[in-house]
Structure 1
Amino acid sequence: MKPPHSHAHADAGTAALIGPHTVPRTRVDALLSAVPARDPETSRPESLARAERQRRRWATQVVVADELARRECAARGLKVPPEVAPERLLAVAESEVADLGSIVAAALAHSAAARTVLDALEAGQAVPEADVRDYYDRNRDRFLTPDALRRGVDPFGGTAPGDVLPYEDVREGVLEELRRAAGRRAFFGWLDQARSGVVYAHGHEHPGDPSHPDHEHRH
């Protein structure tokens, strides 16, 4: 996802602008207070300052994603979850960070609105039957029976009848997995587009924005 590069010319209390609407710094500060800083890898003052700058930029992205999601809920006629100042960020699994990136994973953990948008996008995904069957056929190792696993059966080297769970038994699970993956891709696409018009105050830019010297292109 491309990081936005724009900068806001706004008062000191503004972290970002979404059209004419401001995202106040107080929301970013509240999130930062709920997310403990990582143990520093170094005690060098310049490194600590850089880490804190990046942490603020990261938190701004999470707050902006929440605000964009709240607006998307309203636009879709979905119930907009109430805005609640975080006392602590919900735990984010390492697997979620690996799959989604730290910003999106944290946004989904922090923002009920973001989860509502994701659910709506996921529900709208139509997965063709041919794709479900193709996934089953190409990933037979995932559908070995417990007995076949104990015997070390090679799923691609010739299986006997009964070594692989029948398609009918696993179809719904595969369908849900593919729909969830498609929903996440749709969420990434929506967030990319929604963020394209956001303007950030100095010090609140995207962590991967190359216009600031210590950028990191990590999500």
Structure 2
Amino acid sequence: MSPASVLAVAETDVADLGSIVAAALAHSPAARTLLAALESEQTVPETAVRDYYDRNRDRFLTPDALRRGVDPFDEAAPGDTLPYDEVREGISRELHEAAGRRAFFGWLDQARAAVTYAHGHEHPGDPSHPDHEHRH
């Protein structure tokens, strides 16, 4: 089986998730189920969606404005950015997913806080390990 057919996490998400979380999600249906459940519990207020749009105008430039090199925070005209109503659903979905991931990370941190690794089997990147900077 090729590595691409095993990985259940998009390669672009691995950097956002971190390799340990990405591996857990890639190989554990239970982890994916927990992430989905935590994500479904999250709410994103409309004010947060609008605030994101207002603070990240560069992400919503029209293709024409991008070609012209428009600075969305200085010289953008009203027609240079995509209207809020067109991008609102995508922003909401992105913020909802991010809130679910934060909840998952919090759960994972709490769950592993009580874990004690056998000497010599600590994860090399675990900052709680006294030699966490060593490499294999």
Structure number having the greater helix percentage: 2
CA deviation map 1:13-48 (0-9, x unaligned):
xxxxxxxxxxxxxxxxxxxxx9x9xxxxxxxxxxxx
Structure number having the greater strand percentage: 1
Shift of 1:173: 0.3
1:122 to 2:39 alignment = yes
Equivalence for 1:170? 87
1:102 to 2:19 alignment = yes
**Greater C-alpha Rg:** 1
Match of 2:103 among 186, 208, 213: 186
CA deviation map 1:38-62 (0-9, x unaligned):
xxxxxxxxxxxxxxxxxxxxxxxxx
Equivalence for 2:60? 143
Match of 2:129 among 200, 207, 210: 210
Structure of higher RCO (CA pairs closer than 8 Å, 6+ residues apart): 1
**Secondary structure, aligned partner of 2:43:** coil
**Secondary structure, aligned partner of 2:117:** strand
Equivalence for 2:76? 159
Shift of 1:147: 1.3
Letter in 1 for 2:129: P
CA deviation map 1:52-107 (0-9, x unaligned):
xxxxxxxxxxxxxxxxxxxxxxxxxxxxxxxxxxxx85276664332222111111
Number of aligned residue pairs: 131
Equivalence for 1:39? none
TM-score by length of 2: 0.82
Once the two structures are aligned, what percentage of the paired residues are identical? 76
